[in-house]
Structure 1
Amino acid sequence: MKYFSYLFLSVALWASPGPAATAQQAPSPYKTRFAVDAPITVGLGAASGLGLYLIQQKKGLTNTELTALDKNDVPKFDRFSAGNYSQKAQTASDFLCYGSLVAAPALLALNSDVRSRYGQVLGLYVQTLTATDAVFTLTVGSVTRYRPFLYGPDGDASRNSKISTNSFFAGHTAHTATATFFAAKVFHDFNPGSAAEPFVWGAAALVPAAVAYYRIEAGKHFLSDNIVGYVVGATAGILVPQLHKKASNGLSVLPIQGLTPQGHSYSGLLLVKQL
């Protein structure tokens, strides 16, 4: 994983002028303040830096330690991928992961309402990615888990590298899920009830799943590593924009009536809150 490559790209996008706003800006569903959000983003970046430092302090395995590895020591639900190795699968996962980090904000720019608030959305994107990266680097820097390919004969010099101990959890999957679910969440918030939502959410779910598949085939991560990465990334992608949503009652009251399974009639009011 090329740590922080996405961060520099996103900051560059944030700092550059966004697409021209329309004459009258569409109302944003989000409330952001530079004085609050900028320090939060910087703090998350500092946490990521600490995690990266911890990763650099890790040590790889000696040849003797490699010889002692036994795939039977791997939990049964992960054992099927022990020994996997594929350069093509690794390249595919890199392409999908790094491509999604660029594609997510680019595709959002195609929506006129999002485009009119593009600077704010990009700021949230940077913050969301740094949140994921802080969790990722601090976890990888603190946890040693051997990558699946070490349980097979392939890998050459990388078998002794410190990055061979960085299996938990899957960073490519986490960062991809962050980007895709962030894009889907923002699209939903700017376009509630859009007919395109099922396709947007479906794509958001499928792309990181594809990355997870290729990371397993490449021998970089076990299934459980990818599940955790997927959950962390999707949670950040949805939660950070949600925490910035403007306060709104969003309440509606509807009359309801019907029959219970026992045949008794009932009536009342249904209180609905839109998230």
Structure 2
Amino acid sequence: MLSLRNLFVLLFLALTLSVGAQQFPYTLEWKREVSFFALGGGLSVTGHLLETEINPLTTEQLAAQRRSKIWFLDRGATRNECAVARRVSDELLRGAMLVPATLAVGRTTRRKGLVVGTMLAQTMLLNDGFTKMTKVLIRRNRPLIYNEAFSIGAKSLNDARQSFVSGHTSNTAALSFFTAKVFHDLYPDSPWRPAIWAGAAAIPLATGYARYQAGKHFPTDIVAGYALGATLGILIPQLHKSPTEEGWSLSITEEGVGLSLRW
């Protein structure tokens, strides 16, 4: 929780002490926005529907699971069980949901709230879609399946077969990296940018570690979730960059989809 609290403080100080933002760098294009929402919504709905078709492991199947068959780098997670760590990971996720709201301290962000809100909604919808679809297609057993400390009831839920990727980690990474990316683009001259990026990186790292200690995820689940969330948190704002801005952006026209690079 210390990292999350520190990021709130850093963002507040950075937004109140930074010089005025440069020209607003993002634009909305209805074809691109509809495409992103359709992709994210389709993946999310499909994933949650497929989740209902996952059958829990039977008693016989649970008895046949062996810790020794787990990759050695992941095996340590099968011995972890900590209710406090599980609660900490839940609180970190809830707190991370508030992190993008700190951007509203800046006048520029408030004036362009529709644009920033659209990008955030797309980021989280796409992250939920990719995370859930990965879980239901791979159906990896959680570490608790191999741990005698967990009850049969906990092992007999279909959620126990949705370990890869870590949703807590991917969601906190998407939220924190999105916030850092938007701040980075809005305040290119701010000396706070390195600290904001460091804080954004720390939140999903702490969340993933808590999920590991709770016996909910393997390290590989956490690394994959971190990479997914961080990529979307940075990529979606970048794809909305105005063509007049340096860098690359995405445009969708009647002729097709194109990437533009301006240097």
Matched, 1:58 2:60: no
Tell me the equivalent position of 1:264.
none
TM-score under structure 1 length normalisation = 0.79
1:215-226, aligned counterparts within 5 Å? 215-226=211-222
Match of 1:108 in 2: 103
Task: Indicate the residue corresponding to 1:125 in structure 2.
Answer: 120
Amino acid of the structure 1 residue aligned with 2:146: Y
| Match in the other structure for 1:91 | 87
2:161 maps to 1:169: no
Separation in 2, partners of 1:250, 1:172: 33
Q: In 2, Cα distance between the equivalents of 1:125 and 1:143?
A: 27
- Tell me the residue number matched to 2:198: 202
Q: Quick one: which amino acid aligns to residue 53 of structure 1?
A: L
Q: CA deviation digits over 1:118-149, x for unaligned, max 9? A: 12101100001111111111111101211111
**Greater length-normalized contact order (CA 8 Å, ≥ 6 residues apart):** 2
| Alignment partner of 2:68 out of 41, 49, 72 | 72
* Residue 155 of structure 2 is aligned to residue 159 of structure 1: yes
User: C-alpha separation between the residues in 2 aligned to 1:106 and 1:49?
Assistant: 26
| Residue 63 of structure 1, CA deviation | 1.6
Give the count of matched residue pairs. Answer: 229
Q: Does 1:193 align with 2:189?
A: yes
Deviation at 1:96, TM superposition (A): 0.4
1:33 alignment partner in structure 2: 29
Structure number, greater radius of gyration:
1
- d(CA) in 2 for partners of 1:274, 1:42: 28
| Deviation of 1:40 (Å) | 2.6
- Which residue, 63, 68, 77 being the options, matches 1:81? 77
Q: Give the corresponding residue for 1:140.
A: 135
Over aligned residues, Cα RMSD in angstroms?
2.0
Query: Given that residues 83 and 150 in structure 1 are in contact (C-alpha distance below 8 angstroms), is that contact kept between their aligned partners in structure 2?
Result: no
For 2:230, which of 230, 234, 237 is the aligned residue?
A: 234
Runs of 4+ with >2 A deviation: 33-36, 248-251
After TM superposition, the score normalised by the length of structure 2 is 0.82
Cα displacement string for residues 183-213 of structure 1 (whole angstroms, at most 9, x for unaligned residues) = 0000011101211111110110000000000
5+ residue gaps, structure 1, are: 1-24, 252-272
The residue type equivalent to 2:96 in the other structure is S
Q: Which of the residues 137, 145, 148 maps onto 1:150?
A: 145
Evaluate the alpha carbon distance shift between residue 188 and residue 26 of structure 1 in structure 2; reply closer, same or farther with a 3 A threshold: closer
Aligned to 2:4: none
> Which protein has the bigger helix share?
2
Provide the rounded CA distance (Å) in 2 between the counterparts of 1:274 and 1:196.
Answer: 26
Letter in 1 for 2:86: Q
In structure 1, what is the Cα distance between the partners aligned to 2:41 and 2:246?
34
Query: Are the aligned partners of 2:182 and 2:237 in contact in 1 as well (CA < 8 Å)?
Result: yes
Shift in Å, 1:217: 0.5
